[in-house]
Amino acid sequence: MDMIIDYLINARGQKPPVAEKIAEPFMKHSDIRAELERWIEKREYPQTDAILVEGHTAESISKLAPFMDGVGVYNFLITLRERPENGKRIISEGFKRK
């Protein structure tokens, strides 16, 4: 978990309390957290044995939403897992940004 918080602070310039809040959802999803930590180390998405949620991998989400970094992509996988209908709606709407 420290690796994610360190990334958020050092690479994205988040304040520590904000970084902790962003990292919090990864506590409940150890598989997604582990794959994100590998992304932080290598800055690439796995080509084999990738986590699949509602038919999507981190790499497929990154192609649909190229403006997201790894944290955003993996956070979206959590959205797909916890609230699949909401996640599918966001995908179908093309990841509208405000």
Distance CA 15, CA 11 (A): 11
The pLDDT of residue 98 is 66
At 1, the pLDDT band (50, 70, 90 cuts) reads: confident
**pTM of the entire predicted model:** 0.93
Asked whether residue 64 carries a pLDDT value surpassing 90, the answer given is yes
Annotated domain spans of the chain: 2-92
> C-alpha angle 35/44/52, rounded to 5°?
45
